Structure 1
Amino acid sequence: MKLGDPAFVLPERRARIDAVVANRTRTLTVVMEAFCDPQNVNAVLRTCEAFGVQTLHAVEGPMKPYDRNKKISQNADKWLDVRRWSSTTECLTHLRSEGFAIYATHLGDRSRPMAGLSFAGKVALVFGNEQRGVSEEALALADACYAIPMRGFVQSLNVSVAAAISLAHAVERREAERGRHGDLPEDEAQALRERFYLLAVKQRSRIAKAEAVRDRNARRARTRG
């Protein structure tokens, strides 16, 4: 048997993994365009994982913040697939060729409420740089721009908050328009289950080793005492 075989995974953990994979999708994705702050990157990763978005796209900027911050992402990145791109045009052109509608977060004359957008097909949500917002390249390639309605004096949100609100709405609309959110083909779902089983076994092994070291050190301390 392979290490990632279901037999090596605790039944309750296996059931959880199966439920998560059933709600995974690659037909809703997120593009992070030249983010500066690693905390924002990892908060968006955590949000995507929570909402079942399996693949993200990161357009590199000068700050290159796409490192891991486990305290923020809570290891969400290990369950996801992140593709890196050197330019916005390259990334969005690829997504368009794959049949994605491109919706950019932008407060401007072109913007409309998210409620007016369709989520029946493939959709990529583009979130721009924390200071400058989405680029002119992203605006030129976007099929639509949307803004999150505000009711107070503040007219903008932190990008990770905007991503959470946007994804919550997108998942709700997908379920209403498509009947379901998770939609991986069975071969992709099976491959992902096996990958997650393997990660779970490795995690369990690390915990067991750490507990063994802790117990051994405790015994030594008692012996010395």
Structure 2
Amino acid sequence: MTADRFFERSRSEKRRRWLRIALGVLAVAAVGGLVWLVWFSSVLTVRDVEVAGRTTLKESQVLRAAQVPKGRPLARVDVDAIEGRVSALNRVDTVEVSRSWPHTLSITVVERKAVMWARLNGQVRGIDRNGIAYRSYASPPDGLLEAAIDIPDARDRLQTSEALAAVVVEIGERDAALRREIESVTAATKDSIELRLTKGRTVVWGSSADGRRKLQVLEALLRIEATRYDVSAPDQPTTTP
């Protein structure tokens, strides 16, 4: 009786051992099959490309820049490389590329938006909130401020454009009434920003720092009749009759 129990227990342990081995083999095979299906087979390949978010760009321009490898397994598509190629387009501010299983690659772009314009090298150029001159206009666009940025050095011009754009955007977001009074903006350096207001008035803004404080001080100063208001040092503002 003891021998029979021992024999039965031994057979049961062998069955369990073989079952574990079989399950392990099946698991490995399943994982291998899944890897093959996703990474190497033609079942989950790129068949469609969707482009969203564009406003002035043509879909064909985005697709041409993206160079999406149709027919390649979706999992093996280098989305970072595609984002890099699309973001190189002048009018693209940001881009996100994502996989939409089983067969679609989605490209979502956010285009740059001009916040001011300037004459650069004889052209009317739209400048975005990052100070980048990214597009040309046939004539000065309505609704945008003119920016005078006569700076030969490209790096200094970009830094100054960025500072100017930051001021224009902040004023537009925080003080719409003041924004309507601004006729143009100018700067010789990133720290010498000036606003040309209606009625021949000038505001010396200085750098783009402390914008909120400068707006608060300027609101009070504008109640004084003057031709020049200096808030470049907001704790020590001055006016000139």
TM class, shorter-length: under 0.3
Tell me the TM-score normalized by structure 2.
0.23
Q: Which structure: greater helix fraction?
A: 1
Taking structure 1 as the reference length, the TM-score comes to 0.24
Q: Which has the larger radius of gyration?
A: 2
Q: Which has the higher contact order (CA 8 A, sep 6+)?
A: 1
**Higher strand proportion:** 2
